[in-house]
Structure 1
Amino acid sequence: MTDVIWLNFLLILTRVGSFFVTLPFTSYRGVPNLVKVFLALVVSYLIFLSSDFSYAAGDSFTTMRMVLFLGGETLTGLTIGFIVLLFFTAFRMAGQLADVTIGLSMAGIFDPQFGSSVTLLSQFYYLFAMVIYFTLNGHHYLFLALARSFELIPLGGLSFNDVTVRMLLELFYYIWAMSFQIAAPIVAAILITDIALGLISETVPQLHVFLEGLTLKVFVGLFVVYLTLPFMSLVMEEIFGSLYTNIINIMESMT
């Protein structure tokens, strides 16, 4: 009986640990590994105490069955964390599209999470989304969804099917659509600016429109960001409001 309890806890720890691997808040390289391990152990222990896991490995425990269970729990945790990462990626993609449109794509900064250079507005939108998410207490619903996953998908009960794949593809489409909608005001403003500069160049050929236009587009783009920032928090609230529902729906399809 004691062995079964420890095996159940190991499976819980595997799912929770995999969840923290892909979670945007804990996947930063700047977060010490010891902190990640401690957080995973604490959350796993709390879930273990608050839930009834009557069966995981059971009496028919074999090494092969345990390997399959561990693989299933790893995939489950990675999927939940990946869904959260997708929602935050929408704001990063919107910022990258805005940077390319404005002309700030060459001005990059180093992102320790991905170990590569990212554009200014993409990092700004990403961090701003993270602040709004914690302000809305989104992390509470996130841990609630993680705990619910053990009710929806029992230990060793993962079933990845075509319905899950279809829902993930629909989620990809939703993220792409939201990223374009977020960047739409900036893209529209820069498009109008380009049209105006084109008309000016036809009217006053002596004016160096190209050189002046670079500075003007940066100013217009940042000004639009400033104007839309109050509405951006409302958009983020709407997007993050559907995060918990999407996690639960996808988890239900994996049973």
Structure 2
Amino acid sequence: MPEALGHVYLLYLLVGARLLGFTLAFPPLALPGLPVLWRLGVAMGLSLMVAPLLPPNQTWPTGAWGWIWWWMVELVVGLALGFVAGIAFQILRTAGYIMGLQMGFGMAELLTLGGAQDTMLAQFLFLLGTVLLFSTDAYQLVIEALVRSYQLLPLGGAVMKGGTAWLVTQLVGGLLSASLQLAAPVLAVTVLIDASLGLMVRMVPQINVFMLGFPLKIGASLLLLGLLSTALGTVIGKLLLEISHDMTLLVRGLS
């Protein structure tokens, strides 16, 4: 009886390793204000629900070092899943950073003693994506993809392949292009404003372009974002729906 209980305890630790790695790498669950113990509690709570759903023909490691190796493998798999799932949020953050720099919000970093790494707009889009993730029940698709990963990729069965590395490279490579597409309307407006101010300086050299340009670009860009708020929410929703698809592709590549 004690051996059976010990086996069950190790099983839950093994299942929780993949979930723990995911909670550590998934940006909405890895916010600086969230304690690590909270993430550990989420991982172990999910493991209690996932463990009974494991296939009956699951094989188990032998010996202490076998369990340790499998635990490390599952932790790496969870980190990889969290990284791939977080690409959508990195797209939002990068798009907000690009828009913020063009609008003039990047100047706030020079005046911040703490050395903020993101503009205000980058933080806004990231938090907006987090709110939409939990308010639109898109998080259920993420949990479903996690549960499905145990069926597609058994415990300890991860194998690194060349196709998997190429998949991750494609996802990361598409990050910048997707960010530029998301920030394209604001970039177009700021370029037009800069060009117009350049022509005005030619005609009236006494105009202070910097004093006029900053509020003009910020106001026009914020107005544009307000007008495109519905379309922006639709685009963010599509990005969130792609999370579970990307996770499934990664799991299939590792199996």
TM-score by length of 2: 0.91
Question: Which segment is superposed worse, 44-53 or 89-98?
Answer: 44-53
Unaligned runs of 5+ in 1: none
Contact 1:8-1:155 within 8 A present in 2 as well? no
Q: Name the % identity.
A: 25
8 Å CA contact 2:99, 2:186 repeated in 1: yes
Aligned pairs for 1:78-89 (under 5 A) are: 78-89=79-90
- The equivalent residue for 1:159 is 159
Q: Is the 8 A contact 2:100 2:119 kept in 1?
A: yes
- Residue 46 in 1 paired to residue 40 in 2? no
**Greater Cα offset, 159-168 or 241-250:** 241-250
Q: Matches of 2:29 and 2:240 in 1, distance apart?
A: 18
Letter in 2 for 1:217: K
2:145 equivalent in structure 1: 145
In the aligned structure 2, how far is the partner of 1:14 from the partner of 1:40?
8
C-alpha separation in 2, matches of 1:63 and 1:50: 24
Which one-letter code corresponds to 2:214 in the other structure?
Answer: L
Give CA-to-partner distance per residue, 1:68-118, whole Å, 9 cap, x none. 2112101111011111211101000001001111111022499x9xx9542
Corresponding position of 1:13: 16
Does residue 207 (structure 1) correspond to residue 210 (structure 2)? The answer is no
How far 1:143 sits from its partner (Å)? 0.6
Deviations 1:97-149 (A, max 9, x none): 01111111022499x9xx95421100011111111222321110011011011
- Residue 127 of structure 2 corresponds to residue 130 of structure 1: no
- CA distance, structure 1, for counterparts of residue 70 and residue 37 of structure 2: 25
Question: Within 2, Cα distance between the matches of 1:54 and 1:14?
Answer: 20
Query: CA offset at residue 160 of structure 1?
Result: 1.1
Aligned to 2:63: 62
- Asked if residue 30 in structure 1 is aligned to residue 33 in structure 2, the reply is yes
Q: For residues 22-69 of structure 1, give each alpha carbon's deviation from its aligned partner in whole angstroms, at most 9, with x where no partner exists.
A: 1222212322333222222210010012333543425xx123322321
Q: Residue 179 of structure 1 aligns with which residue?
A: 179
On the 8 A contact 2:85/2:244 being kept in 1, the answer is: no
Residue type at the aligned position of 1:251: V
Superposition CA RMSD, Å:
2.0
Give the letter for the 2:87 counterpart: L
Question: Which residue number corresponds to residue 227 of structure 1?
Answer: 227
| 2:34 aligned counterpart, secondary structure | coil
Counterpart AA for 1:62: G
Count of residues in correspondence between the two structures: 250
- Counterpart Cα distance in 2 of 1:68 and 1:205: 70
Aligned to 1:194: 194
Structure 2: 5+ residue stretches without partners: none
Scaled by the length of structure 1, the TM-score of the pair is: 0.91
Shift of 1:206: 2.5
Contact 1:92 1:122 in 2 (8 A): yes
Q: 1:97-108 counterparts in 2 under 5 A?
A: 97-108=98-109
Which amino acid is the alignment partner of residue 228 of structure 2?
Answer: T
